[in-house]
Structure 1
Amino acid sequence: MVVKVFFPQCCNRADSGLLVGRWLTGHDSAVVLAVIHYPFIPSGVKQYIQQMQARSGVELSVLGSWSLPKEGQGDVDSFLRDLSTIFPQRRWLQISREMGKTGFSCSVLNTERSSVFQAPVKTEQKGEVDEDREEEGDSEEKIIFIHYEQRKVMLSQLHRDQDGRMEPEPEPPSELTQMFDSVSRSEPLFVLDKFDEGPVKSTHWQSEGREASIMVELSKQAAVPLCSLVSALLHLWSGFWSLRIFSVFPLPFLHSKLSTCVQLRYRTEQMKTLWSTQAAPDHRHFMRKANIFVSLLVDAALGVLLMSWLYRDDHITAVANALVPAADHVAKELNALLQWLMGAPAGLKMNRALDQVLGRFFLYHIHLWISYIHLMSPFVESLLWYGGLSAALGLSLALSLLSDMIALLTFHIYCFYVYGARLYCLKVYGLSSLWRLFRGKKWNVLRQRVDSCSYDLDQLFIGTLLFTVLLFLLPTTALYYLVFTLLRLVVVLLQGVIHLTVDFINSFPLFAVGLRVCRPYRLADGVKFRVLCDEPGTCLHLLMEINPLKSSSVVQTYRTPTYSCYPRDSWAALAKKLFVGELIYPWRHKTTKTD
């Protein structure tokens, strides 16, 4: 039988004493968490372990003894061996190390059989081992030491499946899962260092002193009242916007359609999560808070940089002065496009009456829009100046405001698209209904299917006339629909790039990616082993190293849930809607479930 002992590297040169840890359930494996130094009082050690077990929730126990011979400690080994009767265990590990050797020697005392089994060991004990083997029928337990870096295992999070999602595993849990869980939950055991006056002296990964512990404690104490204050202010802000006056039409409609309002509401929910006084219950919630915090900092920093550029060298005035001429230029190009469509575009013969009506209708809309732009031109610079201040709340909010401004400045193009799409859709559906009439079919509204139907002569005659009129008017309508749909798609593409940038800022897990780059062991995808020592007369020693999670898995696992600017339909459904003339609303967001 093989017994695996997970041994921390920080305890390789610890003073002689007792091994504290736990046996893994369902496996012949033990995890050593700390070494309690000699001298000690056994009753004090028992009381200390009970306290640590109650605080950590880990079934801690004394696994055995650790011996590192030094001058003047000749009786320590015999004293530690006799402690197996005071700390009863099914197996009692007796690990010793000689100075100048890398490997350990280990004996296993089985208290149920009252006999000792020793791993392939030193020559002077070989005779005793042979006698023990004869008494127990040549039974043997082979010891394998797996050395691990306790600090990395303590701070890492082991992902249990390939895509990084933490899902419950079937019982019993795996050996590595229990080992990582035991080390991470034993944080109370690692509090005391060598400078503290405690009931025992021990060696573990923090025994040499805790770095920046005073600053961490001060930050924790200052964060509690600060979080309470900010959380109260956020609730007041949410309560103000939930007043009944803001639920009067059309305010709710505008709040749901304007990107600035949607982004502001999303950032408010993130701030509530970040400044919540409740501690993160698990690793996923902690990582989510950390990603939100870093995202807010980076977003605010980029916003401040943008604001400094806007207000330096009077860039806002330059943008305001260029806005009205740009609108005039767009109006001139649209006029030229409509004049082209009202003639013979690309040599096509259009229905002149319908062509003139549609062209003059759209020209009148352009005239109204340009008049509105010139009316608002004295206020454009002031609007841009105050709108630029929104960058102080983050680059994402400034980009959302830019998207809304583009939507308002191109509202006439949207109107053209809606008019053309409605007219085109009406003719397409009219032609499809009349085509069913010729085939003796009709659409059953109640059953949502096509049924057979008999028509009289008058109905067929009127249907033929309507079908002919709609068919000959369709090319003119389709041409206007095609042109304005392409213009609308250009605007939608520009807004889509802005929305994707905002979505990237909101959802990209900067903190998790930073951990993957700077501290790859914090996000573990598994472990690998290599032979550390295989000296004669000692046990086999392996070194456990942590495999970091892949970068793609980090982004996929820790991506912050957010609203998305992607349309609900697939590309095929979008193409079908464009073909039949149904309206496409790119601002309809696809909600993402939050954890």
Structure 2
Amino acid sequence: MVLKAFFPTCCTLADSGLLVGRWIPEQSSAVVLAVVHFPFIPIQVKELLAQVQQASQVGLVVLGTWCHHKQEPEESLGHFLEGLGTIFSHEPWLQLCWEKGSKFWSCKATHQQSSTIPGVPIEDHVMLIFYDQRKVLLSYLHPPTVLPDCQAGDATASAEGLAAIFDTVSRSEALFCKNQFDEDPVRLSHWQSEGLEASILVELAKKASGPVCLLVACLLSLVSAASACRLWKLWPLPFIASKFSTCEQLRHRFEHLTLVFSTQKARGPAQLMRFGQGSFKGRPTCWSLCSWMWPLASHCCPGSIAVTELGNLLTPSSPWLTNPCPPHPHVMSLQHVAEELQHLLQWLMGAPAGLKMNRALDQVLGRFFLYHIHLWISYIHLMSPFIERILWHVGLSACLGLTVALSILSDILALLTFHIYCFYVYGARLYCLKIYGLSSLWRLFRGKKWNVLRQRVDSCSYDLDQLFVGTLLFTILIFLLPTTALYYLVFTLLRLLVVTVQGLIHLLVDLINSLPLYSLGLRLCRPYRLAAGVKFRVLEHEAGRPLRLMMQINPLPYSNVVHTYRLPTCGCHPKHSWGSLCRKLFFGELIYPWKQKGDKQD
């Protein structure tokens, strides 16, 4: 029988003593967690194991002995090591030894009670596997994906074995947190026996992270209480807030910060790696600060750059600030867009592309839209003295993050193209009215009508007067349809152009919000933290000698990191399929392809 003994690399130079760990009978594996140094009192060792078992719920036992011949002579420990098997009875009893003057290890596993011959123990072959205890403790093993050419049962059994080993090390942190000073009754060797592996600044940051997180949590609770005031629920404030992307983005950012700085513990390592929320395995809330600083830095740096560029643009040395008479350049840009729309309407009021239009209807529609453009230009000139100050405050708000700046850009684009939206609504309503009128009159010619109660088309008989009026109306609508359809087509294309730009901005915002920057940072700086499995490297293999392997952690691929730890977004997604979108465009129904999270589907 071959037994697998997982031995930490940090204990290879430890003094001789006892091997403390957990025995996994299903895997025929022994996970060594620490070495108890000589000299010791057996009753104190048992009390220590009982305390750790009560704190971590891990069945720790004495697995065997460890002898370092480079530090202790073999003959001085021989009789004493043999007697320890009777004090700490465990089957099998491991005996690990580093032979003096040799690079080979001596590994034995004996069974005293299972021996058929009294006094002659049964020896099993031992496979010695070294592992980095610190990396295994800090890593999170992800469930493996079964490849098509692999057996599902083999993959599941291997995953269960690795999960048991990783779980044993991670849950035994109570053993590693024991103070290892000279006055302690039991001296241990493990990954943290030499002290905390961190600098003074890191330790001070961990100590200060708790009060900082509590302070931020209190501030967020005050903001939440202020936002819950009934004043903000009065109409039309909720309606306006639901239509602005900036409000949705601020609400999403507030929910994310509330979750990150929550005082509750993370529900598992997956939530800790995704949000860094709360604490896990007794670690301080410094994880919250780290997970929050990653997206904050990546979002606010581009926003700060935008603020700097805007400040340079609006410095007093700018030529348009020395003389208040010339209009603002942004006003000139908006006026140029309005003039282009006027040229487009004048082209439609003539003979666009050589088409023969209904002149009376064409003139009415053209003058109607030109009047709206005139109102829009007057509004822009009225707001021109305040545009500089508005742009400055908008630039300052970009410090809240890149996503907030993009949401503000989307809202500004929606406000500046509001006249195009009005033109689209007017043209769509008029076109839709004619389409539905023509479809109703077409049913009249076929002796059909729409049954409103049953929501279906039924047969109906019409008299001569009804048929004459229907034919007259149908003729009028069919001849006026090309003029209306042309205006509807032009303004629908302009509206779709604006919606496409807004949709790209929303998709970019969702992409930035969904990126797990903290998890990607862990994958880049500490690949072992996100483990996709392990691989074994042969260290020594010789006939008559135990096989020695090194267990190394396979990091999770970047694509799997993004897929596994993808963060929730504001939920701005396409509302219609391509088929329904084309159908609505053909029948002139209003289109809102981009919806917010709280909106209902049609």
The within-5 A match list for 1:421-440 is 421-440=428-447
Q: 1:584 to 1:451 in 2, by over 3 A?
A: closer
Deviates more, 1:87-96 or 1:222-231: 222-231
Give secondary structure in 1 for the equivalent of 2:297: helix
Q: 1:21 to 1:420 in 2, by over 3 A?
A: same
Total equivalences in the alignment: 568
Amino acid at match of 2:303: G
Letter in 1 for 2:219: L
User: Could you say if the C-alpha distance between residues 240 and 28 of structure 1 is closer, same or farther in structure 2, counting changes exceeding 3 Å?
Assistant: same
SS of the aligned residue for 1:174 comes to helix
- State the partner residue of 1:47: 47
Cα pair 1:107 1:116 within 8 Å, conserved: no
**Which is further off, 306-315 or 84-93?**
306-315
Aligned match for 2:258, one of 267, 272, 287: 272
Measured after TM superposition, the shift of residue 34 of structure 1 is 1.3
The range that moved more, 506-515 or 304-313, is: 304-313
One-letter code aligned to 1:144: M
Contact in 1 for aligned 2:144/2:533 (Cα 8 Å):
no
**Greater relative CO (CA pairs within 8 A, separation 6+):** 1
1:60-79 equivalence runs, <5 A: 60-69=60-69, 70-72=71-73, 74-79=75-80
What's 1:156 paired with?
139
What is aligned with 1:143?
126
| 2:108–2:125 Cα contact (<8 Å) kept | no
What is the DSSP-based 3-state SS (H/G/I as helix, E as strand, rest coil) of the residue aligned with 2:542? coil
Q: Give the root-mean-square deviation of aligned CA atoms.
A: 2.8
Match of 1:248 in 2: 234
Q: Deviations 1:181-203 (Å, cap 9, x if unpaired)?
A: 11112222222475564332222
Q: Check 1:441–1:84 CA distance in 2 against 1; reply closer, same or farther (3 A cut).
A: farther
Task: Tell me which residue corresponds to 1:456.
Answer: 462
Q: For structure 1, which segment, 252-261 or 538-547, has the greater mean C-alpha deviation from structure 2 after superposition?
A: 538-547
TM-score (norm 1): 0.88
Q: 1:356 to 1:102 in 2, by over 3 A?
A: farther
Residue in 2 aligned with 1:136? none
CA distance in 2, matches of 1:555, 1:365: 48
1:286 counterpart = 2:292: no
Instruction: Tell me the distance in 2 between the aligned counterparts of 1:103 and 1:435.
Output: 95
Structure 2 gap segments, 5+ residues each: 147-154, 277-290, 322-326
Q: Distance in 2 between matches of 1:82 and 1:579?
A: 92
The DSSP-based 3-state class of the residue aligned with 1:479 is: helix
- What do the CA deviations read for 1:495-542 (whole angstroms, capped 9, x no partner)? 223323322332211121122222211111111223221123321122
User: Residue 122 of structure 1 aligns with which residue?
Assistant: none
1:66 is displaced (CA, Å) by: 1.2
| Amino acid of the structure 1 residue aligned with 2:16 | S
Unaligned runs of 5+ residues in structure 1 are: 118-127, 134-139, 164-168
Change (3 A) 1:590 1:115: farther
Query: In 1, Cα distance between the equivalents of 2:527 and 2:407?
Result: 34
How far apart are 1:431 and its partner, in Å? 2.9
Identity of matched residues, %: 58
Matches of 1:98 and 1:446, distance apart in 2: 95
Q: Deviations over 1:48-83 (max 9, x none)?
A: 111112222222111111122234452323312322
Deviation at 1:212?
Answer: 2.4
AA in 2 matched with 1:186: S
Partner deviation per Cα, 1:120-148 (whole Å, 9 max, x = no partner): xxxxxxxx9xx767xxxxxx733222222
The answer to whether the 8 Å contact 2:95/2:108 transfers is yes
**Which residue in the other structure is 2:335 paired with?**
328
Q: Within the alignment, does 1:395 sit opposite 2:402 as a pair?
A: yes
What residue in structure 1 maps to residue 197 of structure 2?
211
SS of equivalent residue, structure 2 residue 363? helix
Shift of 1:364: 0.7
- Relative to the length of structure 2, the TM-score reads 0.87
Distance 1:116 1:426 in 2: 101
**2:516 corresponding residue in structure 1:** 509
Query: Shift in Å at residue 109 of structure 1?
Result: 2.3
Q: What letter corresponds to residue 493 of structure 1 in structure 2?
A: T
Q: In the TM superposition, what is the alpha-carbon distance from 1:296 to its structure 2 partner? A: 1.9
Residue 225 of structure 2 aligns to which amino acid in structure 1? G
User: 1:420 Cα deviation (Å)?
Assistant: 1.2
8 Å contact from structure 1 (residues 568, 590) kept in 2: no
What amino acid maps onto 1:365 in structure 2? Answer: H
**In structure 2, what is the equivalent of residue 91 of structure 1?**
92
**Contact (CA 8 Å) 2:575, 2:592: kept in 1 or not?**
no
Once the two structures are superposed, the pairs formed by residues 95-110 of structure 1 within 5 Å of their partners are 95-110=96-111
Inter-CA distance 201–484: structure 2 relative to 1 (3 Å threshold) = same
Residues 1:493 and 2:500 aligned together: yes
